Amino acid sequence: MSRPRSGRTARVLLAALLIGLAVFAADEALTWPEVKALAKQNPKTTAFIERYQARERRAGKKPAVAWQWVAYSQISPNLKRAVLVSEDISFFSHRGFDLAEIWEAIKESFQDVEFPRGASTLTQQVAKNLWLSPSQDPYRKLKEAILTIQLERNLKKRRIFEIYLNVIEFGPGIYGAEAAARHYFHKSADDLSEGEAAQLVAGLPKPSAWHPGSGNRAYQKRVAITLERMQKMEIPGKQF
């Protein structure tokens, strides 16, 4: 008698699981971002900006966000080059995921490299910043992967790069190249020098603490490494 009962229990559990998955999928479908719309429309906010604002409100503060969208052509090639050599040198050739960089990041993690490279591509970072959270749970990573594929399929590379440069965090409450350039250097993003670009990009791993003006030794060393990479790596100018 135990076998039929066990079989019925398994079927009930399976049915419940399938119903749960169907409800979950339906909910996701209703809230899933319209990725294709970004080909022509700029995002009105980002998940990271909203997260920062919520954190500030919980602390009893009035959240002040510096964010000013500018066109791709209005951002210095120096900043674009700094981002590529530091964050994703193969951006213009991969399709959203860089397996070679992932492998290098794994190797460097075992070699105790002082400033290991990040495994996430710019496209993955765009997906995370626009719609997700910094958590590393498997489901969030799955959503990031799906959104990354959609971004690569529906947007041109320069558009993805433009979005990245306009939404990435450069300091507490400071988002995008234009806001960062004006806050730290009192100039527009298209006037950034090579050294200024390196200072901005060097702070990307820890924007809450690393940014121009910081005396942190690790940050200063990363600025020097970024500059060195910019001088060594050749990226065709036509990509800018």
- Of 114, 77, 118, the closest CA to residue 97 belongs to 118
Q: Where are the beta strands (DSSP E) in 79-207?
A: 169-171, 174-175
Tokens of 195: 């050294």
Average pLDDT rounded to a whole number, residues 181-186: 98
Q: 3-state DSSP call for residue 151?
A: helix
Average pLDDT rounded to a whole number, residues 57-64: 91
Query: pLDDT at position 138, please?
Result: 86
Q: 3-state DSSP call for residue 15?
A: helix
Q: 3-state DSSP call for residue 88?
A: coil
The CATH code belonging to domain 34-239 is: 1.10.3810.10
Query: pLDDT at position 57, please?
Result: 93
> Residue 58's pLDDT band (boundaries 50, 70, 90)?
very high
Query: pLDDT at position 9, please?
Result: 65
pLDDT for 17 beyond 60? no
pLDDT-above-70 percentage for the chain = 76
pLDDT for 202 beyond 60? yes
> Residue 52's pLDDT band (boundaries 50, 70, 90)?
very high
Q: First CA to last CA across the chain, in angstroms?
A: 72
The DSSP code for 135 is -
Give dist(CA 203, CA 82) in Å, integer: 11
